[in-house]
Amino acid sequence: MPDSRVPRLRRFLVCEPRHFAVQYSINPWMHPDTPVDVDLAREQWQALIRAYRDHGHTVETVEPVAALPDMVFAANCALVLGGRVLGSLFHAPERRPESTAYDAWFEGAGYEVHRAESVCEGEGDLVPAGRFLLAGTGFRTTREAHRQAQEFFGVPVISLQLVDPRFYHMDTALFVLDDGEDGNIAYYPEAFSPGSRAVLARLYPDAVIATREDALAFGLNSVSDGRHVFISSRAKELADQLDRQGYVPVPLDLSEFQKAGGGIKCCTQELRP
């Protein structure tokens, strides 16, 4: 494979894990009795931000709020596409107040926020992929929210059914490698219903397929700029596959965040112009 993958520089919004903790359980990864190493979490998050900046990406930050331990997972607050913001309506009451803080950031940055009317968790389940918007449902974001996203963005939505509670957001089971018109994805088929698997196989015959082990190591909760793939350092086989396909894996360890059911992508909201 030639060394020809071209990165597209991105603008990201992130939230420092100053108040990060596992205080409640709203997904199978969260066990409030398991302690989080707050200092290690901060170091891991800072390494992620450094890696983005070292690769030329712009990183903006939203001020964290003390009573919102999951606010670090910026990807879930909205989907920003074509400069338009579809603000989330969180499933869990514990996360709903995050919207106020994120809306304030978006409004201060000159965006107008259009609020989802049905449960919708932003980039956790809505994944722009070239000419389509891939949209997960089953645990959080509803099919009604998919319909609203299609109406709001005017991009064809492909609804995909998630079936395994450990992969409760679609961005735990699938990520976009390059988002050009004929872009490609990586995913873990077992996280999807048989029909949705068939849809993915039809749309992406050359997709990179992750092993169960790499999926459970949050290897698919990755961020790609089209060349560099910021990926969990524990997803070794997936990183090797990507390397063979001409991508450049940038391994990062976000193990503390996995205790809350999150990883690299969850911590990263992309601001798409």
Ligand X SMILES: CN(C)C(=N)NCCC[C@H](N)C(=O)O
Catalytic residues: 169, 266
CB of 43 to ligand X, least distance (A): 19
Joined together, the tokens standing for residue 244 give 């063979």
Site string for ligand X, 178-217 (x = CB under 6 A): ----------------------------------------
One residue of 13, 14, 26, 162 binding ligand X per CB under 6 A: 26
Best CA proximity match to 174, nearest among 207, 131, 139, 138: 207
Q: Which stretch in 12-20, 150-158, 166-174, 230-238 sits in contact with ligand X by CB under 6 A?
A: 166-174
Q: Which stretch in 24-32, 97-105, 181-189, 195-203 sits in contact with ligand X by CB under 6 A?
A: 24-32
At 125 the three-state DSSP class reads: coil
Q: Does 87 bind ligand X (CB under 6 A)?
A: no
Cβ contacts of 216 within 8 Å, gap of 6 or more = 166
Total number of residues shown for the chain? 273
How would DSSP label each residue in 43-62? HHHHHHHHHHHHTT-EEEEE
Joined together, the tokens standing for residue 104 give 């304030």
Residue 171 or residue 270: which is nearer to ligand X going by CB? 171
d(Cα 207, Cα 201) in Å, to the nearest integer? 8
Contacting residues toward ligand X, per CB under 6 A: 26-27, 30, 70, 73, 75-76, 95, 124, 169, 171-172, 221, 260-263, 265-266
